[in-house]
């Protein structure tokens, strides 16, 4: 008896990306694309209806971030197997997706062979990360993490706020803000606020 194919839901807001993925997977006898969604809300509705074996999830959707869609799906269906396929592949992006419950993470630039391998691996109950992304994630774990307050201060710095304005916005003393700024500069390993912002963007800590 022929085994049932792995049923796949494609989630991406770009039609051509979905078309390309569907075309790439069409030649694999053990894989079957059963649905497509172009937004987070549509993805949730499609998942409810189709109950796919694997969901290929884009990170950036027009209404809900792919990470939040992943959380919502897993809240309803804890056994769901979601593989993120995203243009953003910083250590922070990977960490947040896996923390949300994704079973794997691959760049959109991946070759067909890697996408197919990732789908089959996740369908078999494994987690999947290409070696380069696994290295980035490991390096992230070696760096001191910003506290919630430090992250808030950094976001306001990125918006052009001076220490006095940050203090007023967060209800803190200006001296306390200066302390948070000093700590986040130290943790990021930079000497000034501008470099802190650019590095945070490079690492995916900040989204502008």
Place of tokens 């494609």: 10
For 107-151, write each residue's pLDDT tens digit: 998 999 999 999 999 999 999 999 888 888 877 765 667 788 888
Which CATH superfamily includes the segment(s) 6-140? Response regulator (3.40.50.2300)
Query: Can you give the pLDDT at residue 142?
Result: 52
Provide the residue ranges of all domains of the chain, joining segments of one domain with +: 6-140, 148-203
For 47-92, write each residue's pLDDT tens digit: 999 999 999 999 889 999 999 999 999 999 999 999 999 888 788 8
For 84-119, write each residue's pLDDT tens digit: 998 887 888 888 898 899 999 999 989 999 999 999
Q: Do the beta carbons of residue 60 and residue 88 sit within 8 Å? A: yes
Q: Which CATH class is domain 148-203?
A: mainly alpha
């Amino acid at each position: 008896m022929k085994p049932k194919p792995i049923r796949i839901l494609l989630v991406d807001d770009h039609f051509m990306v979905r078309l390309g993925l569907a075309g790439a997977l069409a030649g694999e006898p053990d894989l079957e694309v059963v649905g497509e969604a172009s937004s987070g809300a549509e993805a949730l509705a499609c998942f409810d209806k189709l109950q796919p074996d694997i969901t290929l999830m884009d990170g950036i959707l027009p209404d809900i971030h792919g990470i939040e869609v992943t959380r919502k799906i897993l809240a309803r269906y804890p056994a769901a197997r979601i593989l993120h396929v995203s243009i953003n592949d910083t250590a922070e992006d990977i960490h947040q997706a896996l923390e949300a419950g994704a079973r794997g993470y691959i760049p959109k630039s991946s070759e067909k062979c890697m996408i197919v391998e990732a789908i089959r691996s996740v369908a078999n109950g494994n987690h999947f990360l290409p070696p380069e992304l696994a290295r980035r994630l490991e390096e992230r774990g070696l760096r001191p993490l910003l506290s919630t307050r430090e992250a808030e201060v950094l976001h306001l710095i990125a918006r052009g706020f001076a220490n006095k304005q940050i203090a007023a916005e967060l209800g803190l003393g200006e001296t306390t803000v200066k302390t948070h700024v000093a700590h986040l500069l130290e943790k990021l390993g930079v000497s000034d606020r501008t470099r802190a912002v650019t590095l945070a963007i490079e690492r995916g800590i900040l989204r502008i």
